[in-house]
Amino acid sequence: MTTKTGEDSPQASASQLDQPSVKPPPPPESPAALQTRFRVITAFWAVIIFLGFPIWWKTTSIYRASLPIEEMVDWADGKACRPVFPLEIHLATPSMQSLEAQNLLRTTQHTLDDLNEFAAHHLRLKLTDGSTAAHNGEESAEGLKYLAEDTADTALTVRLLPQEGLAAPRSELHAATTQLDIFYPPNQVPVPSSSNSPLSAFIAAELQRLYSEEKATIAYILSGNTAGLDSTSPQLAEEIDRRLRRSMKYAETYHLSFSLFTPGSEPSSWDIEAAVNEYVSPLLQAFSPISNFTVDTQVQLYANFAPTAPKPEYDETEAAWTLKKEGLSAFVNAAEWPLNPSIGSGPTINFILYVPDPSQSPLIVKENRASSWIVPQWGGVFLLNPPLSHTDNQGGPSNPAHLSQDSLRPAFMTFSHQLLTLLGTPSTPASLPLRLQTSIRIRAASLLLSASSTMGSLARLTESLPSIPIPATVATSVATTLSHLSSSCAHLREGRFGAALASARVAETEAERSFFEKSMVGQVYFPDEHKVAVYLPLLGPIGVPLVVGLLKELKRIAARRKAKGAAS
Amino acid sequence: MTVLSLFSFPFVALILSLWSSSAFASSDYHEHLLLHPLPQSSLLASFNFRSNTSQQSFDQQHFRYLPRALGQILQHAHTKELHLRFTTGRWDAESWGPRPWNGSKEGGTGVELWAWIDAPGNEEAFAKWITLTQSLSGLFCASLNFVDSTRTTRPVVSFEPAGDHSAADQLHLLHGTLPGEVVCTENLTPFLKLLPCKGKAGISSLFDGHKLFDAAWQSMSVDIQPVCSADGECVVQIEQTVDMVLDIDRSKRSRSNPIPRPVPNEQLVCDTSKTYNSDDTCYPLEKTNDKAWSLTEIFGRSLSGVCPLTDFDGSSDQSVCLRVPHERGVFISEEAEEIKKEDGFTRCFKLAPSVPFDLSIPQQPVNTEVPLDEPVLHAERTIVGHGQERGGMRIIFGNPSNTSAVDFIYFESLPWFLRPYIHTLHATITGHDGVLREVPASEIVKETYYRPAIDRERGTQLELALSVPAASTVTLTYDFEKAILRYTEYPPDANRGFNVAPAVIRIVDTAHDAPIYIRSTSLLLQLPTPDFSMPYNVIILTSTVIALAFGTIFNILVRRIVTLDEAAALGAQTLKGRILGKFVAIRDRLRGKDTKVE
């Protein structure tokens, strides 16, 4: 104001410049006015702090259910549970005195414990009389009943049978049951006083041998895919590593898809129904306690190789067309061949039966003359070279129009084998029920670990991203996972592996569900710059007077305090 | 009555025998191509592929001819019968006559899907329908996943199942359309993969995306339905068709040089009787010659043999047929064999396996033409009205027949943001005499099935049973209101307008065994479109006004009010006042100097 009038006339401004010293300053404000101003400012700030701020906080905050972070991290670090695998082995001694049997049991157990170097996996011998043992063996062979029972699963029944005319004990494993027969010369029964005997040493060594691969595999899984046991041979370690890398992730349901591919128009039909019933169904039946399976089949004609795939070359010495080993990965023409996964939950395992064109028959793999290979975690391929017929008068030899069940036999035998490998079944021992039991334990161990590590990842994720919401469903899922993990761990400790697998399965499903919860990732992105740009016209003009008013008031109060202090 | 039944019996028997022979042919796979030159140098190519799978192997998932991907989708979604259509372009009924397959194998512009789903209740059926659309969307690379509840209707009388269903199934018909979907090559590739011979052999080897989607009109269809014989044996039948109308001149242009050139002067046929006819002025004569064309010229490739899955006996080996008068000269590849049919216009070709087949027609004067039937009904549908709020729909039905009335079902599904007022439904009739008469709608409309829309949940579904008298034109009109959408509901190209699905007309004709379908063109609806920067402007303007009001009130409340003199005194005491005072003093001194110099 003053400057403006000053601009109008220099004299006036000069006179005004002198004036302030002349004019008296206004009287100090009345305490009532000061108090009113104080109240006004307090009221405004009270509304902002007690109404505005909570509303803003409430409406912009994200719901984060509380998670048991520590417990989750404990599971991931392996502190919450140390999985152990006590295997119960029944010793049936139908033709031995009770005392002798007790003694044999004790010494064998002793030898076993001495031999064992991996504490988490140990064998517990138990004495049964012969009749029940045989019964148990049959039962487990039939249906692998593993559902939660109070007693531990019987892993193996050892039957000791005396046989005349033997120099040393001899063992025989039943391929279709969980029974191991050991024939021994009757004179080798240990006397009660001795602490060691050839027979007990033999039994212990035999059991150790049966479970060595399983032990190595579990050790490998538990140690985090790095080092297994010290005693594991490098070949075995490599074998285990290869198998675990090839095998599919565990799922409740697998879809098996058998496809016949051929580059020409023939063969266009196959006896697939009979072949599946004959060669695949029994195996799936045996696997039914572990997983469910669906089977579908298709015939695809005019299935060419991808243009980028290496072409088969004719090998004079072999008199056959050959594919190079390194080119096998491009064999399946994923872009053109209709190999889309089946609908429904669970992974699809593809088995491809490829019948080469008559002009490129027979077709084999160059390096090892093999006609089949496994595509890790995907499926298997089999090259079928059917006998060519020369009946056609024109155009040279041709493939048969129809593939009979017999001609499919080698292919489906290979597919069964590939299926076992893809499902992670170990290659030893020879008995299929034993291998399936082993596979239950391996699956339980790996599921337990994978669910635990998912929990750990979820805990880390929620801690590192404070802006993602955590819905209540995630908290529920986490609670379910943790409870099933601990029950699975308890089942393992008591030797109920089937029940442990069932719990671990639930834990894994729930863990995956909580980790992949959609509402956690789908957050609306409103960058802060955007909000500021929109609301600055509002917040700026309102905020500046409020803050300046507050500062002035604070200054006044401080000055008054000082004055008061000086006065007193 | 007896006369009528005696008369109709042979016809029905003929239809039945034809049907059974086609449905239960000895081979499980059958393919057929019909080439039919149409007026205005167009060519209709109608491809048909059909195969059967026994119900048993379908249930056990042993797929041979039926594609596995499609079969699994059907099983997963409990779909018993499926019809899927991809259509582009417009069928010119006035020059091309009735539609191929009586319109039963075509859809409205874009994608159309309807299916009978087995489910205990409506909600379960809808859930399965969503599964079905999502899966098909992935399989056919189409936006079928956008068929949501607002685009789904449940027609009552417009469609009837074509397959034989068991009485135990609780079937629900659901119908969805995507009028804005652009059908293109990415839809053809999965379509071809479903065929047993995959476009490598047989008539499917003619398909070329460039030619197919360059057609004036094209329609691809997939139909799957159970078919049962009299003895209760059931098969699952899949039928795929591709119909297209190609412009012969356009198709014959080479791909490398597709720009049309004017006809050279010496090749022009001029009407010399015109007075202005001279060297540089020409009135072209009506064409007197049929165009010359060949398969390789039109499709860009030759037909490579036959698909070996078709059997070689009976009629199914004549997989390619041509509909031209018998006196027309046709050159074919050497190995093929020509069989002329008795009707005087159709000839079929027996192809040699695995030998390329070509067919060429030389230029020849037109003497006889293949007769084209008159369509049973003409239909036209347009949006009328003006302004941002009110609009109207006008549908014109023309009955060309001089003797009989046409009864049909008119079905339209409207998006929810188009709100029709059914009470404004009016009908006018123009008779033989050309006089326009206003008639009450009830005189034309026999029955109405109407389900009103719910905003953002479902669209309007309107089915009318209509009857148009002989040789007259009926115009139906109704008004509608255009809704204003929410800010986020507008698509990125909001000013283009919103697609309204074509109407479906089902003609229930006693003379034909199967109903005739006609689809109108799709419509473009202009909705009131806001300026999309508006919300920000509003926020900023409002904020400024609020800030102004707040600042004023707050300042009045907290400022101390003094007189002007007092203010000056106070101001001089503060730091700001002192600095200002010095500044003014310096300026005054400078000004004083200036005046002294002057």
Over the stretch A175-211, which tens digit does the pLDDT of each residue have?
777 788 888 877 766 666 666 677 788 888 888 888 8
- B contacts of A298 (beta carbons < 8 Å): 63-64, 67-68
Evaluate whether residue B9 is within a structural domain.
no
Percentage with pLDDT > 70 across chain A = 86
Evaluate whether residue A26 is within a structural domain.
no
Evaluate whether residue B18 is within a structural domain.
no
Residues B109 and B170 in one domain: yes
Residues B409 and B350 in one domain: no
**Backbone torsion region of residue B586, taken as left when φ is above 0, otherwise alpha when ψ lies between -120 and 50, otherwise beta:** alpha
Residues A264 and A376 in one domain: yes
pLDDT value of residue A5: 40
Evaluate whether residue A256 is within a structural domain.
yes
Residues B347 and B213 in one domain: yes
pLDDT value of residue B163: 86
Evaluate whether residue A20 is within a structural domain.
no
Could you give the number of structural domains in chain B? 3
Evaluate whether residue B10 is within a structural domain.
no
Which of these ranges, A354-368, A528-542, B497-511, has the smallest mean pLDDT? Answer: A528-542
Residues A474 and A496 in one domain: yes
pLDDT at B95 over 80: yes
pLDDT band at A230 (very low <50, low <70, confident <90, very high): low
**Backbone torsion region of residue A302, taken as left when φ is above 0, otherwise alpha when ψ lies between -120 and 50, otherwise beta:** left
Of A1, A268, A535, the CB nearest to B543: A535
- For residue B280, give both structure tokens: 């540089």
Cβ–Cβ contact A343 with B under 8 A: yes
User: Is residue B592 a contact partner of residue A14, using CB atoms and an 8 Å limit?
Assistant: no
Q: What is the mean pLDDT of residues A270-290?
A: 88
Evaluate whether residue A10 is within a structural domain.
no
Helix (H, G, I), strand (E, B) or coil at A402: strand
Of A301, A336, A338, the CB nearest to B69: A338
Evaluate whether residue B17 is within a structural domain.
no
Which of these ranges, A300-309, B109-118, B291-300, B588-597, has the smallest mean pLDDT? Answer: B588-597
pLDDT band at A269 (very low <50, low <70, confident <90, very high): confident
User: Of B480, B504, B525, which residue is a domain's last?
Assistant: B525
Cβ–Cβ contact B62 with A under 8 A: yes
pLDDT value of residue A143: 39
Q: Angle B68-76/B122-140 helices, nearest 10 degrees? A: 160
Please name the residues between 353 and 412 in chain B that touch chain A, using a CB distance below 8 Å.
Answer: 354
pLDDT band at A19 (very low <50, low <70, confident <90, very high): very low
Which of these ranges, A45-59, A540-554, B555-569, has the smallest mean pLDDT? Answer: B555-569
pLDDT value of residue B580: 80
User: Of B525, B557, B587, which residue is a domain's last?
Assistant: B525
Residues B52 and B176 in one domain: yes
Residues A326 and A358 in one domain: yes
Which of these ranges, B69-83, B149-163, B245-259, has the smallest mean pLDDT? Answer: B245-259
Evaluate whether residue A126 is within a structural domain.
yes
Residues B106 and B29 in one domain: yes
Cβ–Cβ contact A454 with B under 8 A: no
Give the residue carrying structure tokens 């060691």.
A196
Task: Tell me, rounded to whole angstroms, the distance of Cα A74 from its chain centroid.
Answer: 18
Residues A395 and A454 in one domain: no
Evaluate whether residue B371 is within a structural domain.
no
Nearest to A91 by CA among A170, A156, A168, A184: A156
Quick check: A298 and B539 CB within 8 A? no
Q: What is the mean pLDDT of residues A17-34?
A: 67
Quick check: A297 and B61 CB within 8 A? yes
pLDDT band at B3 (very low <50, low <70, confident <90, very high): very low
Cβ–Cβ contact A32 with B under 8 A: no
Q: What is the mean pLDDT of residues B62-69?
A: 88
Residues B221 and B346 in one domain: yes
Give the residue carrying structure tokens 């529920």.
A476
Residues A206 and A295 in one domain: no
Q: pLDDT: is A168 or B178 the higher one?
A: B178
User: Of A485, A500, A521, which residue is a domain's last?
Assistant: A521
Q: pLDDT: is A136 or A405 the higher one?
A: A405
Chain A: residue nearest B202 by CA? Answer: A265
Q: Radius of gyration over alpha carbons of chain B, in Å? A: 34
Over the stretch B224-236, which tens digit does the pLDDT of each residue have?
999 988 888 889 9
Cβ–Cβ contact A540 with B under 8 A: yes
Kindly report the CATH number assigned to the domain that includes residue B480: 2.60.40.740
Residues A365 and A415 in one domain: yes
User: Is residue B418 a contact partner of residue B482, using CB atoms and an 8 Å limit?
Assistant: yes
Quick check: B566 and A541 CB within 8 A? no
Residues A302 and A371 in one domain: yes
Chain B: residue nearest A22 by CA? Answer: B569
Evaluate whether residue B577 is within a structural domain.
yes
Residues A404 and A257 in one domain: yes
Of B558, B573, B580, the CB nearest to A549: B558
Min distance B45 CA to chain A CA atoms (Å): 24
Residues B185 and B36 in one domain: yes
pLDDT band at A141 (very low <50, low <70, confident <90, very high): very low
Q: What is the mean pLDDT of residues B25-49?
A: 84
pLDDT value of residue A486: 92
Evaluate whether residue A4 is within a structural domain.
no
Kindly report the CATH number assigned to the domain that includes residue A135: 3.30.379
pLDDT value of residue B6: 35
Residues B432 and B519 in one domain: yes
What does the alpha-carbon distance between residue B142 and residue B145 come to, in Å, rounded to a whole number? 8
Q: pLDDT: is A390 or B528 the higher one?
A: B528
pLDDT band at B413 (very low <50, low <70, confident <90, very high): very high
Contacts of B567 by beta carbon, 8 Å cutoff, 6+ apart: A1
Residues B116 and B258 in one domain: yes
Q: What is the mean pLDDT of residues A26-32?
A: 78
Quick check: A37 and B76 CB within 8 A? no
pLDDT value of residue B27: 52
pLDDT at A394 over 80: no
Task: Tell me, rounded to whole angstroms, the distance of Cα B459 from its chain centroid.
Answer: 18
- For residue B185, give both structure tokens: 């090559």
Residues B399 and B277 in one domain: no
Cβ–Cβ contact A40 with B under 8 A: yes
Quick check: B354 and A540 CB within 8 A? no
Q: What is the mean pLDDT of residues A497-503?
A: 87
Residues A134 and A192 in one domain: yes
Chain A: residue nearest B69 by CA? Answer: A340
Residues A463 and A516 in one domain: yes
Chain A: residue nearest B74 by CA? Answer: A343
Q: What is the mean pLDDT of residues B381-393?
A: 90
pLDDT band at A147 (very low <50, low <70, confident <90, very high): very low
Chain A: residue nearest B68 by CA? Answer: A298
Average pLDDT, chain A: 80
pLDDT at B4 over 80: no
Cβ–Cβ contact B184 with A under 8 A: no
Quick check: A1 and B568 CB within 8 A? yes
| Interface TM-score (ipTM) > 0.85 | no
Of B72, B197, B547, the CB nearest to A343: B72
pLDDT value of residue A498: 84
pLDDT value of residue B129: 95
Evaluate whether residue A200 is within a structural domain.
yes
pLDDT value of residue A151: 55
- B contacts of A297 (beta carbons < 8 Å): 61-63, 68
One-character DSSP codes across B514-568: SPEEEEPPPEEEPPP---TTHHHHHHHHHHHHHHHHHHHHHHHHHSPP--HHHHH
pLDDT value of residue A197: 74
Residues B520 and B538 in one domain: no
Quick check: B554 and A549 CB within 8 A? yes
Q: Which of A36, A254, A296, A547 to mutate to test binding with chain B, by most B CBs within 10 Å of its CB? A: A296
Over the stretch A89-120, which tens digit does the pLDDT of each residue have?
888 877 777 777 788 888 888 888 887 777 77
- A contacts of B128 (beta carbons < 8 Å): none
Quick check: B554 and A272 CB within 8 A? no
Q: pLDDT: is B392 or B302 the higher one?
A: B392
User: Of B314, B340, B365, which residue is a domain's last?
Assistant: B365
Domain residues for the domain of A94 are: 85-215
Q: pLDDT: is A381 or B531 the higher one?
A: A381
Q: pLDDT: is B569 or A312 the higher one?
A: A312
Over the stretch B97-135, which tens digit does the pLDDT of each residue have?
888 988 889 999 999 999 999 999 999 999 999 999 999
What does the alpha-carbon distance between residue B191 and residue B223 come to, in Å, rounded to a whole number? 12
Chain B: residue nearest A260 by CA? Answer: B64
pLDDT value of residue A247: 85
pLDDT at A288 over 90: no
Residues A221 and A234 in one domain: yes
Min distance B352 CA to chain A CA atoms (Å): 12
Over the stretch B497-527, which tens digit does the pLDDT of each residue have?
899 999 999 998 766 678 899 999 999 999 9
Domain residues for the domain of B233 are: 25-365
Average pLDDT, chain B: 84
Quick check: A44 and B555 CB within 8 A? no
Could you give the number of structural domains in chain A? 5
Evaluate whether residue A426 is within a structural domain.
no
Please name the residues between 46 and 65 in chain A that touch chain B, using a CB distance below 8 Å.
Answer: none
pLDDT band at A20 (very low <50, low <70, confident <90, very high): very low
Residues B224 and B276 in one domain: yes
Evaluate whether residue B53 is within a structural domain.
yes
Residues A361 and A386 in one domain: yes
